[in-house]
Amino acid sequence: QEIRKVVQALEQTAREILTLLQGVHQGPGFQHISKKCQKAREHFGTVRTQMESLKTKFPADQYYRFHEHWRFVLQRLVFLAAFVVYLESETLVTREAVAEILGIEADRERGFHLDIEDYLSGVLTLASELARLAVNSVTAGDYSRPLRISTFINELDSGFRLLNLKNDSLRKRYDGLKYDVKKIEEVVYDLSIRGLNKEATVSAGGEK
């Protein structure tokens, strides 16, 4: 019961961060990305406090016994942290950096930690969000962003291809990555056809 209460509070904070970050998809939101990221970072302060509380609700050596209670919200928080870091620097956040943002451990031996599969699930959710951002960037008149997103997602896809994914739900999520890659490639192709992005045109093989 006590675990559930803290998890509900975490879910509420995650919803607030998500609502805040969804603003980047609207036209004016592109001008305020750094402000939204800063605000999201403040919310992660609340997440860290809630995580501290969660750690006290069960014995440290029984992490996996109760893991199902917070697995979903933890994956969502990984996605949100990864999205903030991407918006700030257009890089992929490491598991260690996410653990630090959330106020938990990266190393299993040290207690309440970020499970590798939860990290990977969160990263796959980021891919879907970036596919959406690529489309909305064009609407907002930002024609170079989809190209950068395309490069990032292709590198991400290459990284996932190296993994031997045994977890069924993770495997299914990974299968969705190819649709995100395809969606972004279509956006870049459309830009190059319309000549809206010189870089896109060159990378598509044309010289204008």
Per-residue pLDDT reduced to its tens digit, 36-62: 999 999 999 999 999 999 999 988 788
Amino acid 73: pLDDT: 97
Separation of alpha carbons 186 and 91, rounded Å: 22
Question: Structurally, what CATH architecture does the domain formed by 116-198 represent?
Answer: Up-down Bundle (1.20)
User: For the chain, where do the domains classified as CATH 1.20.58.190 start and end?
Assistant: 1-114
Fold of 1-114: Methane Monooxygenase Hydroxylase; Chain G, domain 1 (1.20.58)
End-to-end CA distance of the chain: 64
User: For the chain, where do the domains classified as CATH 1.20.58.200 start and end?
Assistant: 116-198
Read off the pLDDT of each residue in 200-207 and give the average, rounded to a whole number: 43
Percent of the chain with pLDDT over 70: 93
Torsion of CA 7, 9, 14, 16, to 10 degrees: 170
Q: Give per-residue pLDDT as tens, 86-145.
A: 999 999 999 999 999 999 999 888 889 999 999 999 999 999 999 999 999 988 888 999
User: pTM for the full model?
Assistant: 0.91
Chain centroid, CA 1 distance in Å: 29
Separation of alpha carbons 153 and 167, rounded Å: 21
Read off the pLDDT of each residue in 53-79 and give the average, rounded to a whole number: 92
Separation of alpha carbons 166 and 125, rounded Å: 18
Q: With bands split at pLDDT 50, 70 and 90, how would you rate the model's confidence at 197?
A: low
Amino acid 207: pLDDT: 41
Amino acid 139: pLDDT: 87
Residues in the annotated binding site for Mg(2+): 129
* Element at 100 (helix H, strand E): helix 95-102
Amino acid 95: pLDDT: 97
pLDDT: is 13 or 202 the higher one?
13
Q: Give per-residue pLDDT as tens, 149-163.
A: 999 999 999 999 999
In sequence order, what are the residues at sequence separation of 6 or more whose Cβ sits closer than 8 angstroms to the Cβ of residue 207? 201
Residues in the annotated binding site: 129
